[in-house]
A = this chain, B = another copy of it.
Amino acid sequence: MKKDDVNALFLGPKSENEKFFKEMLIMMIDEHLQWRKDFHPDDKPAISTSEKKEEIYKETFERTKNALLELSSKLKESSMPWFSPRYLGQMNSDTLMAANLGYMSTILYNPNNCAYEGGPATTSMEIEVGKQLAKMLGYDPKKAWGHITAGGTIANYEGLWMARNAKSFPLAVKEVMPELVKGKSDWQLLNMTTDEILDLIDKTKAGSKFDEVRNHSIRGIGTQGGKFGKVLVPQSKHYSWPKAADILGIGQENFINVQVGSDFRMDIEHLKSTIDNFISKKIPIMAVVTVLGTTEEGAIDKVDEVVKLRDEYQKQGISFYLHIDAAFGGYARTIFLDEDDQFMEYDEMIQKLLEAEVMEINWPKKDVYNAYKATGQADSITVDPHKMGYIPYAAGAYVARDKRILDLISYFASYVLEEGMVNSPTLLGSYILEGSKPGATAGAVWTAHKTIPLNMTGYGRIIGRSVEGAERLYDALKKSEYLEVKGKKFLITPLVSPDFNIVCFAFNEEGNKSLQAMNDLNGRIFDQCSYKSGKVFKDDFITSKTELDFKHYGDAPKKFVMECGIPGDEWDKVKSVRVIRSCVLTPWLISNTNYLQYWGSFLHSMKKALEKIG
């Protein structure tokens, strides 16, 4: 793909590609209509021509039409204009035509990927997509396992489900086949590496006692309070993680927050001291979760340092399952892959990105690069096609390094899985959390991946535009003079230099020293630049907001508050700061479109907001 192709991939903010979109849709619909007619041509129609002329028949059509028009008017009144560069709120943007068309046309066939016979074509596509994502994330696609989920939340559950069942497996082996773990203490069994556990699975199968062992693991006996240890997650985690601890019966008291720094990345020193503290009390660590692209700040945790720490602990006989929540940031790994899908060296990458005009800025920072380089060393990863894959809702994915781990959660005799079966499983529903699932999602993701390579020449170009847009917004905010409104001066401070494509910022009136007053101000500005109710198309710009408070973040936001000109003791008192948050997913905030126009318009609209709230 070349530079300007990106514009030909989306419908566009002004429906610029409407002609092509409609042509394609009609082509796909016609294919489907004809397919129906061609199935057993000898069968007579079930509906007669004369019947179709009856009044009652037409009335039913009218009723359908009226329901659709009501749907349309409701949608138009309040849907978010994701497609517009004016939408700078949540993780949304225009989605890919290939994905939308793939989705819409597959719906007509209504495949169900729960069982192979329910959707032979789309089940194969789902498995193919799983391998593509595994490769994208640095896994060996032959060894790995990946599939589409109903969202990142479900993928996160699946990751922790695997971790939990894995942790309890060695103790179950001790009960059923003690000869396999002879000489090992319980503590050692609670600290086996994921690879050792996977090997143990193979050995229990060889002894034909796999089922019996599984029944002695958490799967059989349930979680037993904190016996199987703690789950460590950074403060910046998505709220699906505490939900996961509840659902999986682990309990909040075994769910531990690790501090983040003022860069909103997990604090590696605090991770280490937390682990040390538990192991000194002989409390095992069930899993560590690290985040590639936090939901609120877009921060990229130092995955490489977490991996390094894990490896060091392993040498000391301490092991834990490592999961990366890359729901948001995962697809950005395409920027790091050259035209042959190889992960590039740092200097080579920076140069190639500029040469190929993927971005006009220098990206990434070195530590972000190192984090992306290390992803293949985690046990499993969550990645969301419906975020940076530009696929419509709902498409998440769970990807694991070693497919043998499926045995820990599968139902039916799936542990006799042959290589061939994993390529087209007869009952996908028995190796995943969900049951019936739309083949249309697989059709959408597959079509998008078929159209757009998962490297810097494809998705890299789209995501590159998003990163560039964010970087431009950050720079502009950083350099912006104060806004003067009714004689008052308002300064804008961005939260952090973005690791990825989220820009958070806050206004403060010059001279104001009250954090509460600053929070009020930003709340009122947000009210002017967001959707609450009524008619969405009245809004000039749409942003989102987030509250960074002590309960969730500790003192991590304090540095920022002080940068805004608020004394540190105000933070100690108020313990919460409100920031305006812009996820820049739009591909249309780059230099050769009308970036400057939008920036001017953005400043103008902020000024208008300040004027309004007086």
A602 at the binding interface (Cβ < 8 Å): no
Choose from B7, B111, B117 the contact partner of A57 (Cβ within 8 Å): B7
Q: Is A105 at the interface (CB under 8 A from chain B)?
A: yes
For window 33-84 of A, CB contacts with B under 8 Å fall at 33-40, 43-47, 51-52, 54, 56-57, 59-61, 63-65, 67-72, 74-84
Known: A4-B56, A13-B43, A52-B16. A117 touches B531 (CB 8 A): yes
Q: Of A133-141, A427-435, A472-480, A567-575, which stretch is located at the interface?
A: A427-435
| Additional pairs, 19, CB under 8 Å, beyond known A71-B450, A80-B117 | A12-B36, A13-B39, A13-B46, A21-B33, A22-B29, A27-B68, A28-B72, A36-B83, A40-B537, A44-B594, A46-B593, A64-B451, A71-B443, A72-B105, A90-B112, A150-B150, A152-B435, A218-B249, A239-B411
**Chain A binding surface, main DSSP class:** helix
Copies held by the complex: 2
Q: Is the CB of A436 within 8 A of B120?
A: no
A94 shortest CB reach to chain B, Å: 9
When C-beta atoms are compared, the residue in chain B nearest to A593 turns out to be B46
Q: Known contacts A51-B7, A85-B46, A223-B223: does B106 contact A118 (CB below 8 Å)?
A: no
Interface size of A in residues (CB-CB distance below 8 Å): 165
Q: How far is the CA of A606 from the CA of B262 in the complex (A)?
A: 71
Kindly state the separation between the CA atoms of A77 and B125 in the bound complex, as whole angstroms.
14
Most buried by B among A15, A47, A70, A74: A47
Which of B13, B105, B249 is close to A249, meaning CB atoms less than 8 Å apart?
A: B249
**Bound-state Cα–Cα, A5 to B60, Å:** 6
Instruction: Kindly identify, within residues 181 to 239 of chain A, every residue whose CB is under 8 Å from any CB belonging to chain B.
Output: 215, 218-226, 238-239
**Least distance between A285 CB and chain B CB atoms (Å):** 16
Q: Is A520 an interface residue (CB 8 A)?
A: no
Contact of A246 among B37, B90, B251, B409 (CB under 8 A): B409
> Is B392 touching A57 in the complex (CB atoms < 8 A)?
no
**Is A25 an interface residue, CB under 8 A from the partner?**
yes
Kindly identify which residue among B81, B92, B248 contacts A247, using a CB–CB cutoff of 8 Å. Answer: B248
- Least CB distance from A36 to B in Å reads 5
